[in-house]
Structure 1
Amino acid sequence: MSVRIGALVLAMVLPGAAQAQPGAPLSAIDWLEQALTQPIGPTAPPRAPGPQSVPPLGGLDGFSPVPPAEDGPITARPLTQATLDSTGLFAAARIGLPQDIWGQSPLRTLTDAIAAQTPDMVPAAQRLLLRLLVAEFAPPRLTTKDMAGQLLAARLDKLIEIGALEQATQLLEAAPNKTAALNARAFDIALLLGEEDRACARLQGQLFAEGGEAARIFCLARQGEWQSAYAALGAARALGGIAPPDADLLARFLEEEDATPSLDPPADLTPMSWRILEALGEPVGTGSLPVAFAHADLRGTSGWRAQIDAAERLTRTGVMQPGRLAGIYTQRRAAASGGVWDRVRAVQALDDALGTAESGAIGTALLRAWPLFEQVDLDRAFARIFAEPLAPHDLTGSAATLQWKILLLAETRLDRAAQIAPDTSTGQLAMALAMGENLPETDLPGLGQAITAGFTAAPLPPPQSLWLEGNQRGRLLLDALGQIATATQGDMRAAERGLSALVALGLTRDARQIALELLLLDRRG
C-alpha cells in the first residue's frame, strides 16, 4: 500500500469515521421473511438502564440540525423510559428531525414503507436512510402493547438487508429487553460475521423464536456436546419441531466422519445452514447470496478477489467506508485483467501518477479510471478516496472537469471546486447546490428543471401535505426516499416530489447533496 493511499485509509477509518463494514434483497430468502413474522413477545427480563456509549457510525455525516416543526405538545413518553421501538444509537436532533417523527402514522404503514426502501439510490439518500434507521425516536403514538417491538424489527431487517450488520448489532445491544425475535436476529448476524461462539453464547438461557431448536442443536455440537445434540435432533424430528432440510443438514454436521454423500445446498440458505456447509468443506460462494453474507469474505480467510468483491458490494450500499475499500485495492498487484482487476490497476496507476505530481500523467490516469468505477456505481466512493490528493493539481480539459466533479461528490475542498468549475449550466447549478446558494434559473431540461422546482417554496401536494400537517413526518420522509430512488431511473416528477418533501421537513442540506448527486451521477443501470 502506498503512502498516499495508506494515509487516506487512516484518515477515513480511524476516529471520526466509523469502521462499518451492499445484491438481491435479503427479504427474498426465507430466513429473513420468517424473522419478519416472528412474534415479538414474550420478553426476557428488562436490562437495567444505563448510559450507552456508541462510536460514530460510518456514513452519518451531513447532519442538518434544525428545530422540529411546532404542531402542539408531544405526548410520547420520554425516551429515558426506554421501549423497544424507541431504541436508537443517537438522538433524533442530531439529524435535524423531531423526536416524535413517527407521530400518528399507522405502524403497519411505517413497517411496510421501511421494507420497501431500496439501496438503489444515490449515496446521500443511502446515508440519510441509514441515519433514520439507527436514530432514537419516540414510538408511533398509535402503537399498542401487542405491537411493541415491530418497528424496531423492521428497522433491523432493513439494516441486515443492506449489509449494515454492525449497526444492527449495536441496535440489538441497545434494546432495553430481549425478545425471541430479536434473539433470532442477533444469532443470524453473529453467524454472518463469523462469530459462532458469540452467537451460541447469546443463545444460552434466552428466549428464541419458533424454529430455534435447529440453532440449539447446532450450538450443542459446536460446544462438543455431541450426545446431547444427537438426542435433541432425534426428539425434534419425532415431534416435527425442525424442518426436514435443516434436520438432514444437521445430521450430516453431527456425523461428519460418516457423512452421507453431498446434497445440493438448500434453495434458501440461512446463515446457520451456510455455516454448516462451510464446516463440511462445501462452502457456498457469497457472490450470489444477499449482501449481508459478503461480510464473511472480509474475515481474512478468503482470497483477495473475494475480499474485493465483498468490499465493493458493501461500499455500494453505503455501509463500508471507501477508505477500507482503497486499502483492499492496494494490498498487492493484480495478476489478471478484466472486471475488478481493471479497477485495482486503475486505482494503483492513479496513485502512482499522484506520486509523480505530473499533471499530464495524473489527468490520463484519472480519465482511464473514472469510467471503470462509474459503470459499477462506485463513482462516489472513488471520489471520496481521491478528492483530497487530486485537489491541488492543475489539470486541464476533461480531466479538470472530472476533478471538479469529484470534489463536489466528496463534499470537500469546495473552495478549490469553485476555482475550476466549468462555466456551463450544469456547473452553475451544481455549484449553487454545493455552496448553499440560491439556485440560478437554468436552461437544463428534465432533471435541471425538476431540481430547481424541488427547492421552490410551493406547498406540497396531497397526500404529502396531509402527512406533514398530520404529524406523520416519518412517513413523509420514507416516501421522499422512495421518490428519490425512483428519480434515479429518470423520473423527473419523482425527483421534484422527493426533494420538495425533504426541504419541507427541514432537511435542506441533505436535499442539496441528493440533488447534486442526481445531477452528477448516473444511476439508471
Structure 2
Amino acid sequence: MTCRIGALVLAACLPVAAQGQQGAPLSAIDWLEQALTQPIGPAAPPRQTMPQSLPEPSAQTDMPAEAESGQITSRPLTKSTLDSTGLFAAARIGLPHDVWGGSTLDNVIAAIARQTPDMVPAAQRLLLRLLLAEFAPPQLNADDMVGQLLAARLDKLIEIGALEQATQLLETASGQTAALNARAFDIALLLGEEDRACTRLQGQLFAENGEAARIFCFARQGEWQSAYAALGAARALGGLDHSEADLLARFLEEEDGTPSLAPPQDLTPMGWRILEALGEPVGTGTLPVAFAHADLRGTSGWRAQIDAAERLTRTGVMQPGRLMGIYTHRRAAASGGVWDRVRAVQALDDALDQGDTTAISAALIRAWPLFEQIELDSAFARIVAERIAPHNLTGTAVMLQWTVLLLAEERLDRAAQIAPDTATSRLAMALALGDSLPTVSVGSIGPVIAAAFAEPALPQPQSLWLRNDERGRLVLDALAQIAGATQGDMLAAERGLATLLALGLTQDARQIALELLLLDRRG
C-alpha cells in the first residue's frame, strides 16, 4: 500500500467582505455589528453585460452566593473570563452586563440549545446578537466548569451556520480548553482551513475523542509514520469508533481500485473533508447548514454557490448583499427554480439601473413571490429597498414597494407617503414608526400584537425570572415562544412579544411584530 501524500489540498479561507451602509460614517462597534453577519467567502464579481469534556476551572476570585438549590455557588467578579467572551458590550443590545442574574448555568445552556433559526428575521438577528455579546457569566455551582457556556454558544452558532462569528468569538477568548479546541478544529475544517486547524492544535489539549484529529493532522503535515502509529494505537485501545477508524485508514493507505466506503451516518467535518480528498465528495445540500460554507470557496459551481448562500441568508447569518453579489455573477443559462430567481433579480437590477418605473414595477411583481416562496422575502427587501424607494411605481407594485421599505427598515418616511389605506397598513406603520397602535382588526395576528402591547403581566415562571433578574433567560424564552408562531401558536407569539416589551427591547419587539404581520411565517 502506498501513502496518500499531498491529500486534502483544499482552498484557503477567503476574506470577509464588509459592507457599510451609505450615509454617516460607521463607528468601530457599528462596523463590527454589520461585519458579524457576513460569512467567509469571496465577494462575487459583477456579471459581464459539537459538547466535549472540559478541564477543571482555573483559579479565580469568586463571590459566594446562595443558589436556589441550596448549594454553595460562585460568580466571578466582572473581569474577562471564557464564558463572558463577547464581541461587543451588552449595552449595544439594550441589556445589562449581568444579564443572567440568578440563572444557573444548566438553565442558560438548556435555553440556548432550544433556540431554532425557524423564526422571523428580526428575531434571528436578536438571537445572533445575544450569542455574540459580552455578558457576565451566570452562577456557577461546584460541578460547573469554566468554558461550558462559551461552548454552548459556539454550538448554537455552528448549528445555524454562523462560522465566521464563531471564529471571532474563539479568537477573542481569553483562554482555551479541550472542548473549545475541538470546536475550533471543526469550524476551520468547514471553512477550508485545515492547516490552520492543525497548527492551532499543536501542543494544545485535545478532547476525549480528539485522537482522530491528531491522526488527521499528522497526515496533513506529512508525518505519515506517526499517523500510522497513532491509528494503530487508537484502534488497539478503542479510541476510535469503527467507521471513523476505517475512514482514516482509507485516507492513509488508499490504493487505486480501493472500494468506496459509505459515508458515516453522522458525518463530521473531518470525515467530510477526507471523503472530498478521496474523490468521493458528499453534497452539502442534505447536510447541516454549516457545511454550506464549503460551497462558497470558489471551487464549487455557481448553482452550488447560490444554494449555499440562500441557506445561510435564510438562517440570518449572511448579509443579503452577499447573496445579491452571487445572484448577479453571470447570466443564467437554464430556467426553473433557482434560475427563475436569478433572472428576476437581474431583471429588477437592470430596470433600476435604467430608472424605468414601468419595468421596475413589472420586475418587482415578478420577483416578490419567487422569494416569498422560499422565505427570503425579507432578505430580498434589504437587497432592493434603498434603490427602489424613490421611484413612483404603479399598480400592485406600490404595495410591494411599501412592504419592502418596512421589512428593510429603510426610508420609513417614503413608506408613510405610499402606504395603502388599509387596517394592515395602519397597524404596520404604527409599529414601524413607534406610534401608539390603532384599534384595528387584522386577521389572526392583529389581536395577538394588540394583546402583547397592552402591557400584560407576565405569567409564571417568566414573572419570577424577571424578579430574579434572569433577563437573558427571558430573552431566550421569548425567542423560543416567537418561533412557535411559525407553527401557528399565536398565544406563544403574544407571550414572547410581551416579554421583550417587559425587558425594554421595544424596537426589537416592534420589528418582530411587524414581520409577523407582513410575512407568511405562520404554519
TM-score, normalised to structure 1's length? 0.87
User: Deviation at 1:495?
Assistant: 1.7
Residue number in structure 2 paired with 1:21: 39
User: Deviation at 1:12?
Assistant: 5.7
Residue number in structure 2 paired with 1:394: 392
Q: What is the distance in 1 between the residues matched to 2:268 and 2:156?
A: 17
Whether the aligned pair in 1 keeps the contact of 2:56 and 2:146 (CA below 8 Å) is no
Residue number in structure 2 paired with 1:330: 328
Structure 2: runs of 5+ lacking an equivalent: 1-16, 41-49, 61-73
Residue number in structure 2 paired with 1:518: 516
Which of 40, 58, 61 is 2:54 aligned to?
40
Q: What is the distance in 2 between the residues matched to 1:254 and 1:183?
A: 24
Whether the aligned pair in 1 keeps the contact of 2:115 and 2:479 (CA below 8 Å) is yes
Query: 1:207 is matched by which residue type in structure 2?
Result: L
Q: What is the distance in 1 between the residues matched to 2:478 and 2:89?
A: 21
Query: 1:344 is matched by which residue type in structure 2?
Result: V
1:459-498 alignment runs, 5 A limit: 459-498=457-496
Whether the aligned pair in 2 keeps the contact of 1:451 and 1:496 (CA below 8 Å) is yes
CA gap 1:97/1:259 in 2 versus in 1, 3 angstroms:
farther
Instruction: Count residues in correspondence.
Output: 476
CA gap 1:269/1:154 in 2 versus in 1, 3 angstroms:
same
User: Deviation at 1:85?
Assistant: 1.3
Query: 1:314 is matched by which residue type in structure 2?
Result: L
Residue number in structure 1 paired with 2:105: 107
Q: Summarize deviations over 1:287-336 as a string: whole Å, max 9, x none.
A: 00000000000000000000000000000001000000000000001111
Q: What is the distance in 1 between the residues matched to 2:58 and 2:241?
A: 26
Q: What is the distance in 2 between the residues matched to 1:198 and 1:142?
A: 33
Which of 287, 297, 300 is 1:299 aligned to?
297
Residue number in structure 1 paired with 2:373: 375
Whether the aligned pair in 1 keeps the contact of 2:189 and 2:197 (CA below 8 Å) is yes
Q: Summarize deviations over 1:335-363 as a string: whole Å, max 9, x none.
A: 11111111000000111111232222111
CA gap 1:43/1:274 in 2 versus in 1, 3 angstroms:
farther
User: 366-375 or 352-361: which moved more?
Assistant: 352-361
Q: What is the distance in 1 between the residues matched to 2:208 and 2:253?
A: 25
Q: Secondary structure at the match of 2:255?
A: helix
Whether the aligned pair in 1 keeps the contact of 2:120 and 2:515 (CA below 8 Å) is yes
Whether the aligned pair in 2 keeps the contact of 1:43 and 1:177 (CA below 8 Å) is no
User: Deviation at 1:212?
Assistant: 0.8
Report which of the two has the higher share of helix. 1
User: 250-259 or 222-231: which moved more?
Assistant: 250-259
1:63-74 alignment runs, 5 A limit: none
User: Deviation at 1:109?
Assistant: 1.6
Q: Secondary structure at the match of 2:239?
A: coil
Which of 285, 288, 291 is 1:290 aligned to?
288
Residue number in structure 2 paired with 1:441: 439
User: Deviation at 1:247?
Assistant: 1.1
Q: What is the distance in 2 between the residues matched to 1:42 and 1:470?
A: 29
Q: What is the distance in 1 between the residues matched to 2:449 and 2:492?
A: 10
CA gap 1:177/1:259 in 2 versus in 1, 3 angstroms:
farther
Residue number in structure 2 paired with 1:228: 226
CA gap 1:160/1:326 in 2 versus in 1, 3 angstroms:
same
Q: Summarize deviations over 1:439-496 as a string: whole Å, max 9, x none.
A: 1111224211110111112221222111111221111111100111001232221121
Which of 408, 416, 419 is 2:417 aligned to?
419
Whether the aligned pair in 1 keeps the contact of 2:57 and 2:145 (CA below 8 Å) is no
Which of 222, 247, 250 is 2:248 aligned to?
250
Query: 2:490 is matched by which residue type in structure 1?
Result: M
1:219 aligns with 2:233: no
Whether the aligned pair in 1 keeps the contact of 2:419 and 2:425 (CA below 8 Å) is yes
Query: 2:252 is matched by which residue type in structure 1?
Result: L
CA gap 1:409/1:472 in 2 versus in 1, 3 angstroms:
same
Whether the aligned pair in 2 keeps the contact of 1:44 and 1:178 (CA below 8 Å) is no
Whether the aligned pair in 1 keeps the contact of 2:118 and 2:483 (CA below 8 Å) is yes
User: 511-520 or 444-453: which moved more?
Assistant: 444-453
Q: What is the distance in 2 between the residues matched to 1:9 and 1:363?
A: 30
Q: What is the distance in 1 between the residues matched to 2:416 and 2:194?
A: 51
Q: What is the distance in 2 between the residues matched to 1:9 and 1:293?
A: 22
CA gap 1:287/1:259 in 2 versus in 1, 3 angstroms:
same
CA gap 1:10/1:103 in 2 versus in 1, 3 angstroms:
closer
User: Deviation at 1:77?
Assistant: 4.0
User: Deviation at 1:39?
Assistant: 1.6
Residue number in structure 2 paired with 1:66: none
1:80-229 alignment runs, 5 A limit: 81-144=79-142, 146-229=144-227
Structure 1: runs of 5+ lacking an equivalent: 1-7, 23-31, 47-74
Higher RCO, Cα 8 Å, sep 6+: 1
Q: Secondary structure at the match of 1:273?
A: helix
User: Deviation at 1:43?
Assistant: 6.7
Whether the aligned pair in 1 keeps the contact of 2:54 and 2:147 (CA below 8 Å) is yes
Q: What is the distance in 2 between the residues matched to 1:415 and 1:479?
A: 34
Whether the aligned pair in 1 keeps the contact of 2:352 and 2:387 (CA below 8 Å) is yes
Q: What is the distance in 1 between the residues matched to 2:21 and 2:295?
A: 21
CA gap 1:76/1:304 in 2 versus in 1, 3 angstroms:
same
Which of 367, 381, 384 is 2:382 aligned to?
384
User: Deviation at 1:171?
Assistant: 1.2
Whether the aligned pair in 1 keeps the contact of 2:117 and 2:315 (CA below 8 Å) is yes
Q: What is the distance in 2 between the residues matched to 1:366 and 1:146?
A: 54
Q: What is the distance in 1 between the residues matched to 2:295 and 2:125?
A: 24
User: Deviation at 1:258?
Assistant: 4.8
Q: What is the distance in 2 between the residues matched to 1:83 and 1:143?
A: 16
Whether the aligned pair in 2 keeps the contact of 1:126 and 1:318 (CA below 8 Å) is yes
User: Deviation at 1:95?
Assistant: 0.6
Residue number in structure 2 paired with 1:276: 274
User: 213-222 or 443-452: which moved more?
Assistant: 443-452
User: Deviation at 1:114?
Assistant: 0.6
Q: What is the distance in 2 between the residues matched to 1:407 and 1:196?
A: 42
TM-score, normalised to structure 2's length? 0.88
User: 279-288 or 167-176: which moved more?
Assistant: 167-176
User: Deviation at 1:197?
Assistant: 0.3
Residue number in structure 1 paired with 2:501: 503
